[in-house]
Structure 1
Amino acid sequence: MMPMTLPVPIEFRLPENWLPAAPPDGVDVSGVAFAAVRPHPDADFTANITVAGEVPPPAVTLRELADESAQRLREAAGAVVVAHRREVGSADALALTQRLTFSGVVGHTLHDLVQSQVFLTFADVLDPHRRAVIRLTLTATAAQYDEVLEDFQDFVRTVRPDTGAGTDTGPGAGTGA
């Protein structure tokens, strides 16, 4: 499967102990531009971070995109609970976070999973009147979630438009587009 290209170039820094990787087995990777894994599985499930993006129609809200994302997960995994959802930021830099809980089979084992999604808006580089939305996703077992959540939050804080200045030199720098 070919990785997608993000609608806006971004840069970020992966947390320590996370490795860029092909999307893990069992993870729906349609539309994923980048994936990273934490090489310390919990019960044979590898926590992962994925990055995807799109330029939605102007009338589509972040809440609608979050609903669509939860629905796609329901189609793949069955019952999905939106455990938390919150819009943050300003009109110029709106973001939405949501936490989803569900069960999924990886290998031959059923896992209770948690997925945190962050939807960030950026001006489209080709047309500043359009907005691009970047979706950052952490998926982990329920048992491992608290252990990796801080890493994901640190990762989210490093995501920004790639200006081409080349100032970020850490793991994952400049690899997002």
Structure 2
Amino acid sequence: MPATLPVPIRFRLPDGWLPVRPEPGDGWAAAPDVAFAAVHPRPDAGFSANITIDGEIPVDAATLADLADDSVDHLREIARSVSVAARREVGSAEAPALTQRLTFSAVSGGVRRDLAQSQVYLSLTDVVDPHKRAVVRLALTATAAQHDAVLADFQEFLRTVRPDTGTEA
């Protein structure tokens, strides 16, 4: 059963990407908190690049870097050779964000694969109580060979992500 996000968001998938239901046992066991997933229509060597969305309400002291570190630690529990290839803080003081790119080796479909994952952490303030915040993580996972080819689609997707206030048509 997919998880739910702590705040509603709106987005548009890039052309051709297909939404999927992330069910445990269907290759999504490593991502039990995924609220939404989509796959690229052209797998690379049997692996489908995917976009996933999950989120949480972090403890007050947790920074986006802390959450990104936690994600790396979690990935190290299920994958080999996890490396942070790049990380940077982006956004503004009102809407902070963090991006990181991870490389790792993991078994998928019974085959060990070299994978890359681009993650974006968005900090969203509660419109009713500005002292509360939620963090939404958007991730692109692809084979190392296909990652750069689908990165533009992921960036296009990121440009469409917005809080869903329920007031827009």
Question: What's the TM-score once normalised by structure 1's chain length?
Answer: 0.89
User: Does 2:140 align with 1:138?
Assistant: yes
Q: What is residue 11 of structure 1 aligned with on the other side?
A: 10
Q: What is residue 33 of structure 1 aligned with on the other side?
A: 35
Offset of 1:89 from its aligned partner? Answer: 1.3
Offset of 1:3 from its aligned partner? Answer: 1.2
Task: Give the letter for the 1:89 counterpart.
Answer: G
Offset of 1:166 from its aligned partner? Answer: 4.5
Does the residue aligned with 2:65 lie in a helix, a strand or coil?
A: helix
Q: What is residue 74 of structure 2 aligned with on the other side?
A: 72
Offset of 1:152 from its aligned partner? Answer: 0.3
CA separation in 2, counterparts of 1:11 and 1:106?
Answer: 30
CA separation in 2, counterparts of 1:44 and 1:128?
Answer: 45
Offset of 1:123 from its aligned partner? Answer: 1.1
Does the residue aligned with 2:146 lie in a helix, a strand or coil?
A: helix
Correspondence for 2:152 among 150, 153, 160? 150
- Judge conservation of contact 2:2–2:22 (CA < 8 Å) in 1: no
Task: Give the letter for the 2:142 counterpart.
Answer: A
User: Does 2:22 align with 1:20?
Assistant: no
Task: Give the letter for the 2:27 counterpart.
Answer: G
- Judge conservation of contact 1:7–1:124 (CA < 8 Å) in 2: no
CA separation in 2, counterparts of 1:62 and 1:107?
Answer: 32
Task: Give the letter for the 1:14 counterpart.
Answer: L
Offset of 1:23 from its aligned partner? Answer: 2.8
Task: Give the letter for the 2:6 counterpart.
Answer: P
Which structure's residues are more often strand, by fraction? Answer: 2
Q: What is residue 84 of structure 2 aligned with on the other side?
A: 82
Q: Between the two structures, name the one with larger relative contact order (CA 8 Å, sep ≥ 6).
A: 1
CA separation in 1, counterparts of 2:18 and 2:59?
Answer: 33
CA separation in 1, counterparts of 2:108 and 2:127?
Answer: 38
CA separation in 2, counterparts of 1:125 and 1:55?
Answer: 14
Shift >3 Å, 4+ stretches: none
RMSD of equivalent CA atoms: 1.3
CA separation in 1, counterparts of 2:93 and 2:168?
Answer: 28
In the TM superposition, 1:90-169 aligns within 5 A as 90-125=92-127, 127-167=129-169
CA separation in 2, counterparts of 1:69 and 1:126?
Answer: 28
Q: Which runs of 5+ in 2 are unaligned?
A: none
Question: For 1:24-81, what per-residue CA distance to the aligned partner results, in whole angstroms no more than 9, with x for missing partners?
Answer: 8434221110000012100110000000011101110000000000110010113200
